Chains A and B, each alone.
Chain A
Amino acid sequence: MSALRILVPVKRVIDYAIKPRINKAQTGVETTGVKHSMNPFDELSVEEAVRLRQRGEDKSSPVKVENILALSAGGPKTPDVLRTAMAMGADRAFHIDVPEGADGGPEPLTIAKMLRGVVEKENINLVLLGKQAIDGDQGQTGQMLAGLLGWPQATQASKVDIKDEAGTVEVTHEVDGGVETLRAKLPMIITTDLRLNEPRYASLPNIMKAKKKPLEKKTLADFGVEDTRRLKTLKVTEPPARKGGGKVEDVDGLVSKLKELGAL
């Protein structure tokens, strides 16, 4: 194992603090004029890539990071999140130009196929992805990519530890009821969970530097992939509304209301 060439796919999504509104045609959610940011799980994967570089530099990891490539597929505003990733420490970026839509973009399988092409062309040996995008909530892309490449995978990682120069990686990941530790050899796919790290804020000097880092525009076709959709959105609707039932004065009121509702 010579060095790490890391790919970090990131997605531009509606900011996590914003309550999405469904559009009139019921085909998706309103995205125009709504604050967008990097998918929170992707911030974690960028951060982890940068920390792997720091660990390699201060010798607490036996493997050095050679390059960190950030990538995002989306419309004309996609470079915003790529600049953020570069301000956090990614070296370069690919913007895969796909039309913007209310439907969350190409399906995970399409993205996974495109990423396989990127991995092969750019000689990547570690892909760090978020465990899910907070818009589609699908949680598929990393596992699909691992399947397509035939690489080991560790999903929902809370700790990543490179053990030796041969590229043995130990990943602790979240499972139902606790955590599990896995060992695999690079190249591999890791998806991030919230407890993996705390992403840094990009400093102003780093934001300025990021503007000079290379950002290349590409298309799905560059990686031999078409945006075919196998899943048809029939409609997007509001969830059934829940009405608050009002407040009670004291604990006795709480107990009797719960009894009345049949919950006690």
Chain B
Amino acid sequence: LRQPASSSLARLLSTLAVLEQREGKLQNSSLSAIAAAQKLGGPVTAFLAGSGVKGTSAAEAAKIKGLEKVVAVENDAYEKGLPENYAPLLVENIKKGEYTHIVAGHSAFGKSLLPRVAALLDVSQVSDITGIESEDTFVRPIYAGNAILTVQSTDNIKVITVRGTAFQGTETEGGSAEIVDGVDSSAVAQTEWVSEELAKSERPDLATASRVVSGGRGLKSKEEFDRVMLPLADSLGAAIGASRAAVDSGFADNSLQVGQTGKNVAPQLYLCAGISGAIQHLAGMKDSKVIAAINKDPEAPIFQVADVGLVGDLFEKVPELTEKVKSA
């Protein structure tokens, strides 16, 4: 974008990356928002809001390489990121900063918040992009990743959410952006945050792990899922994922679902057992670098995408694999 042909555009372009923070810590989706924002080519400002963020997540953001400044709003009312008050807050700051591009990660936070922001700005949104062709042209998967759409936005403000696995490589050190106060009109939240239940895990985060082991219906029960899959994950230092069938049957937590309606992952290694490979599941993992599958059905569609497949009983093969990985 810094090439002569589009230099006039690049000069006008100014991007706001909406960062997600939780209890003072930046979330991974923030890094992909910044990575995408930097790809657009213009100056990048980061925005975040919450309880006492200036000394915590905003300071963390200020160190990220390539940010012009960090706009922070310190107010407990925004800590939970409730869209009812966060969206008007964002809109005010967008108008004040005259940004041309608003970028957030396609996480639960970004998915819930950004369309509300777009509607308040009276612009369309481009969701879950995997590529940027120019300042107004974006690439995104549709139909569960079975088709790739290249779309051009004619809106004056481009509101975009980005797929985390497609935008990586943000340098979290070396920057020294200035932290400035944002505008805060303290819009009233119509929604009250009651509670949360997060699945606790020592394992790497599913969406960003370099290795993922994933189990499906073939595991038969939660006990078997835990008995067979957890040691394999531990031996590989991998995150745990699951197919919808496994989640629906209660073998694994909902938040571990990989697929069109769950998480999108693109690890170095995606190793799955007892997963047939339905369209909806493939949508969430087919950008993995290496796919390995263990399944007793030689005709399972998963073998059409797997780089290496093993036909066999997972209850024998997975524990054997776990032992061999451990001793290797």
Contact = CB atoms under 8 A, between A and B. Distances in A.
A131 B140 CA distance: 18
A107 B120 CA distance: 15
B75 interface: no
B192 interface: yes
A108 B115 contact: yes
Interface string B103-120: 000011101111111111
A174 B253 CA distance: 11
A231 to B, nearest CB: 5
A72 interface: no
Interface in B149-188: 149-155
Interface in A117-161: 131-132, 134-148, 151-156, 158
Contact of B307 (A29, A232, A245, A255): A245
Interface stretch (A81-89, A177-185, A199-207): A177-185
B119 A148 contact: yes
Contact of A177 (B113, B198, B304): B198
Contacts of A234: 137, 150-152
B148 A239 contact: yes
A235 B197 CA distance: 42
Contacts of A107: 124
B290 A144 contact: no
Interface in B116-149: 116-120, 122-128, 137, 140-149
B324 interface: yes
Interface stretch (B2-10, B56-64, B254-262): B254-262
B325 interface: yes
A156 B84 CA distance: 16
A106 B99 CA distance: 26
Contacts, number: 257
Contact of B195 (A14, A19, A181, A242): A181
Interface residues of B, number: 90
Contacts of A137: 127-128, 140-144, 260
A144 B155 CA distance: 16
Contacts of B141: 137, 239
A57 B151 CA distance: 47
A140 B127 contact: yes
Interface residues of A, number: 80
Given A16-B280, A182-B192, A147 B116 contact: yes
Contact of B107 (A176, A246, A264): A176
Nearest to B108: A175
A25 interface: no
Contacts of A238: 147-148
A170 interface: yes
A98 interface: no
B311 interface: yes
- The majority secondary structure among interface residues of chain A is mixed
Contacts of B294: 254
B324 A252 contact: yes
Given A137-B141, A138-B127, A242-B286, A237 B148 contact: yes
Nearest to B107: A176
Contacts of B152: 231-232, 234
Nearest to B82: A182
Contacts of A22: 147
A20 B280 CA distance: 12
A175 B143 contact: no
B308 A183 contact: no
A235 B150 contact: yes
A153 B84 contact: yes
B310 interface: yes
A248 interface: yes
Contacts of A185: 190
A239 B145 contact: yes
Interface in A1-43: 14, 16-17, 19-20, 22, 29
A134 B298 CA distance: 29
A112 interface: yes
Contact of A176 (B114, B143, B255): B255
Contacts of A263: 211, 268-269, 289-290, 292
A184 B190 contact: yes
Contacts of B255: 174-179
A195 to B, nearest CB: 6
Interface in A235-264: 235-239, 242, 244-248, 250-255, 257-258, 261-264
Contacts of B120: 147-148
B33 interface: no
Nearest to A257: B308
Interface string A45-82: 00000000000000000000000000000000000000
Nearest to B319: A251
B306 A244 contact: yes
Interface of A: 14, 16-17, 19-20, 22, 29, 104, 107-109, 112, 131-132, 134-148, 151-156, 158, 170, 174-185, 193-195, 230-239, 242, 244-248, 250-255, 257-258, 261-264
14 contacts: A20-B147, A108-B115, A142-B115, A144-B125, A147-B117, A153-B112, A153-B116, A178-B253, A183-B192, A234-B151, A237-B147, A244-B303, A247-B298, A247-B311
Interface of B: 27, 29, 82-84, 87, 107-109, 111-120, 122-128, 137, 140-155, 190-199, 207, 211, 244, 247-248, 253-255, 260-261, 268-269, 279-280, 286, 289-292, 294, 298, 303-312, 317, 320-321, 324-325, 328
